[in-house]
Structure 1
């Protein structure tokens, strides 16, 4: 069978791949996209979107319990876990179907199957109906990543779960152990804890949410503990003994090994890139710890071959992948490319309370030698936060004392994942403290705290 020829082939239809394909089509290229499982990738089907749908259910459940505070009555409050899961799957399905529509609209050829690169510019796809051969001068790798499994802590889907099992639970955990307190671990801990699971989180680093600013981590930890979570820091799960309906975890903490019993364990100890069986080594692609090595423009060093998103390394965020997808398509079309600066990408965690950040932490800014000014503002000083019944939280901003550059912003509290974008835009426009101080923020809004935090860094705070 003759090979089908394209200008661009994208391998993987997650938020990096499908966006690269659409941008390529917009620029007049003939594009094919290869996907072995679901359009939309992990993010839409088994990650960002369904977890947010589930977390929304737990948030509403939590608010129902607070009805009395708002002058409302709600009795016999309960949940139906199957219905919660069903809603999250429906949301994911709706969005995945939407990607199919976008592919059609942009005249992108979708090939469902497993891709291998036989040679430079040649892709072989194993489909239900046999093998399809595709050729293109430019190929974008967007194959994403999967959950890391540590020896002895492997998932079995019954007692020990990955994020995927946690999205379609076979039972409601009564006593839950979450290994790892990054975004994935802490979001599931938050969801199941809110629904009543007795939840313990084990983190090997010295604090929960270890990539966040230390002050924000400490604030979040207090909030989690107040909700009944047990947090074990500088701790490591050495092994799991599995019985019929329980798991005994051997946890090393402070040089001693303790044993604790659980009925469910969620392992969230990071991810590994999907680099296998693609033919990368034969093409001379460099791979470092399961991630493809690229330059700042996502070039692999093999002519016409690019890698974007999770497969190309940290930060492992959907929005980073999408931006890289657009950048690579622009680059292929001969347009000016805008490389992604990792410190300009916001991180958002949808636990309760939410956490969001962009730029350098206070410790990192100091380590880089900046003379800094730091501002803080608490939710308790904000009218809208009090009206919402969300008085717990804080916003922290870090500036370069010499130039007024906004070096970093860190938040914990209600809706901060929406607020962070104000600072992201500010950093992109190279705003200074003066610009932010002279901006009129609407009242009453949570965003006023962003203004106050900036003012505080320069000893001009009004409402504190």
Structure 2
């Protein structure tokens, strides 16, 4: 029977990155995946959804160009071709992952894994053991158990990205990041989108000041947003609610995800609610068994799982790594404009602080590009000028946030951000302007 230093169950962004990092550091590694390398992120999540958002973003750029005086023929959408492009990019990325795994001599096992109490792993008719096990089994779409749901057909994010025909109409249930991103991906292409969210607002885990801008943009795109009601039952292609009947042609549930905990349950691991209970190094209640990513909560994003996987490997190598800090993990929403945040929101701060929020409409580059919807927000501790949180909302804000996050991660205070020299004209110089305004030294205010 083969023996490994580390066996990783799940080859998503947490598992495959941890496997390669471990192998590069001299560990003998096994990686098991029951579906496709890349996990939900590459196959039915981050990557395909962001490709579709790029398509819709380009359509909006073409339309914006017309308002500037750049006239072109009427825009038409070959949706099947766009989806073939999506498939080609996904396939290329997954092929790359396979190459990286093979190149680094990670033993890859395709199939469903079971793990015995003695840490023997079984995949099909193969058995092997490992000194340590990392569970990186990810999550699956959650569909609420509504009455009558069995009478209708619907998509989840596991099935939606297989479509090849642009829906004329699409009803999306949910108000979180996935639901709103999918609305932005389809509406600019010509789909009549309705978003149904029983809560009073959308994106409730994100920066509150960003929500009105997103809702205004949704209205401009013709997205019908329905909030604050109760779902009663489903009957064929009709949803019965507390505010009336809502017929639909196509239905997508984007109502969150639930962790895949079958192995954890079979091993008798301790849970904290739906999540596996772990310590600061992601070790579970069973010695030599670790869990990362969607299994343990926190910021449930691909890059968070990757960071946790690397941390576990560093811990196993005896390098005493600093635990992954939740306030240093960027949260990203790829709407148009984007929202990028890290750290605390204003209502979460429990010490005296200064908050600066500068709208992008005074930024030269934003004006040139026609991307003035958004702002830079900084939250800084009054006592020692620590960066407690930040939000950048605007075009490419998921890239722009990193200059602030780099300062925080390096242990610097807001002075470092204020004293950097930013190129002009750029969107990034608005970050420096915001940092200087913490001290009342902003210029374009």
What band does the TM-score fall into relative to the shorter chain? Answer: over 0.9
**Residue 273 (structure 1) aligns with:** 259
Q: Which region of structure 1 is more displaced relative to structure 2, 133-142 or 63-72? A: 63-72
Instruction: Say if 2:213 is the partner of 1:219.
Output: yes
1:158 deviation in Å? 8.3
1:354 deviation in Å? 1.0
Cα–Cα, structure 1 residues 170 and 68, in superposed 2: closer, same or farther, change >3 Å?
A: closer
1:286-319: per-residue Cα shift (whole Å, max 9, x none)?
Answer: 1344321111210002111100111122311000
CA contact (8 A) 2:328 2:405 kept: yes
Q: Structure 2: any 5+ residue segments left out of the alignment? A: none
**Residue 38 (structure 1) aligns with:** 36
Choose which of 168, 179, 184 in structure 1 pairs with 2:173: 179
Instruction: Say if 2:61 is the partner of 1:63.
Output: yes
Cα–Cα, structure 1 residues 282 and 201, in superposed 2: closer, same or farther, change >3 Å?
A: closer
Choose which of 416, 434, 445 in structure 2 pairs with 1:453: 434
Report the Cα distance in structure 1 between the residues aligned to 2:92 and 2:152, rounded to whole angstroms.
28
CA contact (8 A) 1:179 1:269 kept: yes
- Where 1:380 maps in the other structure, the secondary structure is helix
1:305-342: per-residue Cα shift (whole Å, max 9, x none)?
Answer: 10011112231100011111111111111112221111
**Residue 249 (structure 1) aligns with:** 239
**Residue 306 (structure 1) aligns with:** 290
1:64 deviation in Å? 1.8
**Residue 420 (structure 1) aligns with:** 401
1:39-96: per-residue Cα shift (whole Å, max 9, x none)?
Answer: 1111111111111111111111122222323442321211111111111111111111
Choose which of 365, 380, 383 in structure 2 pairs with 1:384: 365
Q: How does 1:135-174 map to 2 (within 5 A)?
A: 135-152=129-146, 159-169=153-163, 171-174=165-168
What's the TM-score, normalizing by structure 1? Answer: 0.92
Cα–Cα, structure 1 residues 390 and 231, in superposed 2: closer, same or farther, change >3 Å?
A: same
Q: How does 1:59-458 map to 2 (within 5 A)?
A: 59-126=57-124, 131-152=125-146, 159-169=153-163, 171-242=165-236, 247-252=237-242, 257-276=243-262, 278=263, 280-365=264-349, 369-458=350-439
- Where 1:337 maps in the other structure, the secondary structure is coil
Aligned residue pairs, count:
445
Cα–Cα, structure 1 residues 88 and 441, in superposed 2: closer, same or farther, change >3 Å?
A: same
Report the Cα distance in structure 1 between the residues aligned to 2:147 and 2:422, rounded to whole angstroms.
49
1:155 deviation in Å? 8.1
Q: Which region of structure 1 is more displaced relative to structure 2, 447-456 or 138-147? A: 447-456
What's the TM-score, normalizing by structure 2? Answer: 0.95
1:142 deviation in Å? 0.4
Report the Cα distance in structure 1 between the residues aligned to 2:273 and 2:148, rounded to whole angstroms.
19
Q: Which region of structure 1 is more displaced relative to structure 2, 450-459 or 25-34? A: 450-459
CA contact (8 A) 1:397 1:454 kept: yes
Report the Cα distance in structure 2 between the residues aligned to 1:450 and 1:391, rounded to whole angstroms.
14
- Where 1:119 maps in the other structure, the secondary structure is coil
CA contact (8 A) 1:159 1:263 kept: no
Cα–Cα, structure 1 residues 438 and 8, in superposed 2: closer, same or farther, change >3 Å?
A: same
**Residue 52 (structure 1) aligns with:** 50
Report the Cα distance in structure 2 between the residues aligned to 1:451 and 1:156, rounded to whole angstroms.
54
Report the Cα distance in structure 1 between the residues aligned to 2:187 and 2:200, rounded to whole angstroms.
22
Alignment root-mean-square deviation, CA: 1.9
Report the Cα distance in structure 2 between the residues aligned to 1:345 and 1:311, rounded to whole angstroms.
17
CA contact (8 A) 1:122 1:136 kept: yes
CA contact (8 A) 1:213 1:363 kept: no
Report the Cα distance in structure 2 between the residues aligned to 1:184 and 1:23, rounded to whole angstroms.
29
Report the Cα distance in structure 2 between the residues aligned to 1:238 and 1:296, rounded to whole angstroms.
42
- Where 1:435 maps in the other structure, the secondary structure is helix
Report the Cα distance in structure 1 between the residues aligned to 2:82 and 2:223, rounded to whole angstroms.
22
